[in-house]
Amino acid sequence: MKKLTITLALLLVTALCTAQKKNTQHDVSCYDNGTLAAHQLEKTILDGASVSVNDELEVGKQVYDQMAEKYTILTSGEKYEKVLGIMNRLTAQISKYNNPSTNANFGQYKSHYKIYIIETDEINAFTAGARIFVTTGIYDFCKDDNELVSIIGHEISHNELGHIGYHLKRRKMAQGFFGGFGDLATLVGNVLTSPFGQTDEGQCDLFGMDLSKSAGFAPCHTIDLWERMAEKSGEKSFINLFSTHPYSGDRATCAKQHLSKNYSLDCE
Ligand SMILES: [Zn+2]
């Protein structure tokens, strides 16, 4: 009897935990530049290939090694402590959400996340294999912690929503289904230079805001950041990678809509 009671209690706790997971509406059509349908079809096909968390982590390590060869990477000091603290607060929220994507590895990167500050004036941030890179350029461009949260939340989301894995699957398919990834250095090059697509970028903003809101930050600050970025996007200090980001006014507008629809937040 006691055993049955314990089993029932455990079932109840499990049911409550599952029921309490959060869902938000991600309206990616807000970022649609006419390629959404084709992009989703390609993703469905690529879902036939599997990529493990370890595959992704290996690529992240390679990216780190390449960056460490070229740049000074900070892993201590005030700036580093700040971005690390933000990343930890955001990653602690992931398990509270139902998977908003088709990524089979969603929620499995948590213990692997690492963040680095790269010393360069270039305004940039990127990620691969649960490693997040933030330049001193973008750190200084952010006016406050809430803006940094937007950047870091966006990069975390690229991992959780399966965009890194998606690049690897593409590569795997290109190599033949059982052929693995081929040359790792070429693969890393692909990951760093291939665009994710507007709707994927958009969804990273949206899920990033969810994590930010859940962690107790003020996600409305993201709007001013994207507006300032849109103004800056033509400048040379913007590394090419950023041209893959939807730096149009849309990004601010879509963020505003998301916060209004899901959280009744009226951002000005
Ligand atoms: Zn991005």
- Token readout for 25 is 């509406």
Compute the distance from residue 162 Cα to the ligand 1 centre, in Å.
12
Cβ contact 210:95 at 8 Å = no
As a whole number of angstroms, the distance between CA 140 and CA 39 comes to 34
pLDDT over 60 at 184, yes or no: yes
pLDDT, tens digit, for every residue of 140-166?
999 999 999 999 999 999 999 999 888
Compute the distance from residue 21 Cα to the ligand 1 centre, in Å.
25
Please list, in sequence order, all residues whose beta carbon lies within 8 angstroms of the beta carbon of residue 153, skipping any fewer than 6 positions away. Answer: 90, 204, 207, 208, 209, 211, 212
Q: Indicate the DSSP class of residue 76.
A: S
Compute the distance from residue 183 Cα to the ligand 1 centre, in Å.
25
Residue range 18-23: average pLDDT? 80
Residue 106 lies in a domain: yes
DSSP string, 203-238: HHHHHHHHHHHHTT--TTHHHHHHHHHHHHTTSTTS
Compute the distance from residue 64 Cα to the ligand 1 centre, in Å.
17
Compute the distance from residue 177 Cα to the ligand 1 centre, in Å.
27
Compute the distance from residue 134 Cα to the ligand 1 centre, in Å.
12
Average pLDDT, the chain: 85
Question: pTM for the whole thing?
Answer: 0.86
For the chain, what percent of residues have pLDDT higher than 90?
A: 54
pLDDT, tens digit, for every residue of 62-79?
999 999 999 999 999 999
Lowest average pLDDT, out of 160-174, 178-192, 196-210, 214-228, goes to: 178-192
Please list, in sequence order, all residues whose beta carbon lies within 8 angstroms of the beta carbon of residue 231, skipping any fewer than 6 positions away. Answer: none
pLDDT over 90 at 217, yes or no: yes
Residue 184 lies in a domain: yes
Residue 117 lies in a domain: yes
Compute the distance from residue 81 Cα to the ligand 1 centre, in Å.
23
Q: Indicate the DSSP class of residue 77.
A: S
Closest CA to 125 of 150, 108, 97, 89: 150
Q: What is the CA angle 148-151-153, rounded to 5?
A: 105
Residue 100 lies in a domain: yes
Phi, psi of 46 (to 5 degrees): -70, -20
Compute the distance from residue 245 Cα to the ligand 1 centre, in Å.
6
Cβ contact 246:31 at 8 Å = yes
DSSP string, 114-164: EEEEE--SS--EEEETTEEEEEHHHHHH--SHHHHHHHHHHHHHHHHTTHH
Residue 13 lies in a domain: no
Residue 249 lies in a domain: yes
Compute the distance from residue 78 Cα to the ligand 1 centre, in Å.
25
Count how many domains the chain has: 1
Compute the distance from residue 138 Cα to the ligand 1 centre, in Å.
13
Q: Which domain holds residue 152?
A: 27-263
pLDDT over 60 at 244, yes or no: no
What does the pLDDT read at residue 251? Answer: 86
As a whole number of angstroms, the distance between CA 192 and CA 186 comes to 10
Compute the distance from residue 155 Cα to the ligand 1 centre, in Å.
6
Phi, psi of 223 (to 5 degrees): -65, -45
pLDDT band at 215 (very low <50, low <70, confident <90, very high): very high
pLDDT, tens digit, for every residue of 199-208?
888 899 999 9
pLDDT over 80 at 255, yes or no: yes
- Exposed/middle/buried for residue 194 (C-beta within 10 Å: 0-12, 13-18, 19+): middle
Residue 16 lies in a domain: no
Residue range 128-139: average pLDDT? 95
Residue 146 lies in a domain: yes
Phi, psi of 97 (to 5 degrees): -110, 145
